[in-house]
Amino acid sequence: MGKKSLAIGIDIGGTNTVFGFVNKEGEIICEASITTCAEKDAEQLFERLFTEIDKFFAKYKNDFKLIGVGIGAPNANYYKGTIEAPPNLNWGIVNVFDIVKRYSSLPVILTNDANAAAIGEMTFGAAKGMKNFIEITLGTGLGSGIVLDGKLVYGQDGFAGEIGHTIMDPNGRKCGCGRKGCLETYASATGLKKTVVELAAINKYKSKLCNKSFEELTAKEIAIAAKEGDRLALDAFDFTAKMLGLRLADSVAYLNPEAIILFGGLVLAGELLLHPTKKYMEKYLLNIFKNKVKLLPSELLASNAAILGASALVWNQLKG
C-alpha cells in the first residue's frame, strides 16, 4: 500500500511560529510550536523550523509522504513569495520561496493569514462546498479573504481583500496604516475597546468598565460584562456590529457572496456580535440581497485554524 499524503501547514506569528502535518480530511497528525525570534532575521527561523519539521517527521516517514508546504504569514504575497516588512517582524522584505528552497524541495505556497483562513474555511470549515464567500477575521485587527468561483481573489499584485482598510469615515479614528477611519479601527478587538472608552466619555454609564483605561481593557472582559447585561458593554457591541454590518452590506453589493463567515477571537463572543451584525447587515442591504446572504461563525477551531488554513493552501492548490 502506498504512503498517505500529508501537507505541512506553517503559520508565522510575531511571537511563535506553529507548524503541523495535516491530512486531506483536515486532521492534524502532529503539531508543534517554536519561538519566532522576530528580532533576528528570517533565515534563522526557517533553519530552526525545518530542523524541527525533519525531526518530527522522522517518526511518520514510514507511513506518510509530504506533498507540499503551505505558509500563512502577515504581509505575505502569494505571487512573489515574499513577506514584506510586517509590523511585528524585524525582517524587511524577505523572499520565502528562495529561503525554503535551501531546506526543502517540496512545492511552497505562501499567503497572508487572512487568506489562509479563507482557504482553510473552504477546505475544512463552514464554507465547504461554497464557491462565493468572504471570510472576515476579527482579531486585534480585521483581516479578510475573498473567494469567488471557488478561487481566492488576489487581484493584480496579490493584495486584494483588505476590507479592514476600507474607510468608514475619512475623519474617523486613527488607524495603524496612517490613515483615518478604517473599518478595523471600529470592528476588531482594538476597535471594541476604543468604543467602550469613547462611549464612557460621552455618556453616563454605571459600569465597572468605566474605571478601566484602554490599556487595561480586554475584549474578553467586555464580552463577559455584556453577557451580564452591562449597558456600556452592550452598547459597544451594538456600535461595533453597526459598523461591521454596514460594511458587510456594502461587501455584498460588490461581490454578491453566498455567505460571509466570521472568524477570530472576537467571534468567540458568539451571538453578542453575530446577532446585531446580522440585524444591521440586513438593514443596510440592497433589496435584491435581503435575507439571501448567510452570516456564519467559522467552523475552524481557533486553536488549530492557523495550521489548518496554511495546510489547506496545499490541498486546495492540488485540487484546482
- Tell me which residues touch its own copies (CB under 8 A): 131-132, 146, 148-149, 151, 153-163, 165-167, 170, 177-179, 246, 249-251, 253-258, 284, 286-289, 292
Cβ 181 vs Cβ 168: under 8 Å: yes
CB 251, min distance to its own copies, A: 7
Quote the least distance from Cβ 105 to its own copies, whole Å. Answer: 29
Give the pairing type, strands 108-111 and 93-95. Answer: unpaired
Q: How far apart are CB 159 and its own copies at their closest, in Å?
A: 5
Shortest Cβ 94–its own copies spacing (Å): 16
**Contact indicator for 6, 23 with CB cutoff of 8 Å:** yes
CB atoms within 10 A of CB 151: 13
Give the shortest CB-242-to-its own copies separation in angstroms. Answer: 9
Handedness of CA 120, 121, 125, 127 (dihedral sign): negative
Distance from CA of residue 275 to its chain's centroid?
A: 20
Q: Grid coordinates in use for 268?
A: 468567540
Closer residue to its own copies, CB minimum distance, 64 or 289: 289
Closer residue to its own copies in complex, CB, 118/222: 118
The β-bridge relationship of strands 64-72 and 76-77 is unpaired
End-to-end CA distance of the chain: 26
